[in-house]
Structure 1
Amino acid sequence: MRLRIDTPLEIVVDEDQILSFRGEDESGAFGILPGHAAFLTSLSVSVVRWTRSDQSTRCCAVRRGVLTVMGDRTIAIATREAVVGNDIETLEGTVVTRFRSEMETERSERVDSTRLQLRAIRQIMRHLQAGGQVASGPLG
């Protein structure tokens, strides 16, 4: 099988001769072997791992993403951010924790931004209601 992991900025992994693959989505862990049916899923923040034809194992921390299996030969992952490594404990302990923390910070910033926008809309509505009417043009 072939494995390709892409971010918006680079191709992080592009390898042939993959014997097996393990990933994780919201429903849990799953595996892919040669001949797997077409498949599409949304990955969790997690570490994916694969075994090469020389029996070595590699892994990559992904910041969520979309995984597709196409033509029973190609596994493709599109993700926002990915870090490749050989030590799964380091990736899980450091990188995945950082990914989750950054996602929580971004979520908090989006909530704060939405609150500010809603406050501005409420102030505009109060201002318009206090004035009674919106100024009309020459036809109004």
Structure 2
Amino acid sequence: MSPALRLTISTPSVILVADAVIVALRAEDESGSFGILPGHADFLTVLTPSVLRWRAADAIEHFCAVEEGVFRVSEGSKVSIACRNGVLGDSLADLQARIDAAHAQRIDSGRKARVEETRRHAQAVRELLRYLRPASSTGRGGA
């Protein structure tokens, strides 16, 4: 039995945790919450949006919120998580604050994108109206 686990958590754009030495991990899939200890059998599952919790070799607990992901244990000691998006935190309160900030940033960026889309749409309508509008009636006789 291996004395420790090696944890890697990655997203398509960044590696959040790279080969960290841990002693235990808790995660959640469709069937519920589960724990992993050194020596675990090979295992593969799909994570639901949840908070991963693990204890490092120095007994400090760490957290990572994931939207979804693929969770794999191999060789009884390698834990790999590939997720769409993840946010790390040193405590649940810190994690909640980071998630709230990331959510606010996504909302703000979505709002900016919608404003820009509306501006471009209005500009396209103005261009169409200029093209379709008949020529100015200046120079014609009045009534």
Interval containing the TM-score (normalised by the shorter chain): 0.5 to 0.7
Please list every run of at least 4 consecutive aligned residues from structure 1 whose deviation after the TM superposition is greater than 2 angstroms.
89-96
Q: What SS is found at the alignment partner of 1:17? A: strand
Structure 2, unpaired ranges of 5+: 108-143
Q: Does 1:71 align with 2:75?
A: yes
Q: Percent identity?
A: 44
Tell whether the 8 Å contact from 2:89 to 2:98 is kept in structure 1 after alignment.
no
Show the counterpart of 2:6.
2
CA RMSD, 1 decimal: 2.3
- Specify whether residues 94 and 9 from structure 1 end up closer, same or farther in structure 2 by C-alpha distance, changes over 3 A only: closer
Tell whether the 8 Å contact from 2:87 to 2:98 is kept in structure 1 after alignment.
no
Matches within 5 A, 1:40-51: 40-51=44-55
**TM-score by structure 2 length?**
0.63
In 2, the alpha carbon distance for the partners of 1:52 and 1:80 equals 23
Tell whether the 8 Å contact from 2:22 to 2:57 is kept in structure 1 after alignment.
yes
Counterpart among 15, 19, 34 of residue 15 in structure 1: 19
- Specify whether residues 93 and 23 from structure 1 end up closer, same or farther in structure 2 by C-alpha distance, changes over 3 A only: farther
Amino acid at match of 2:21: Q
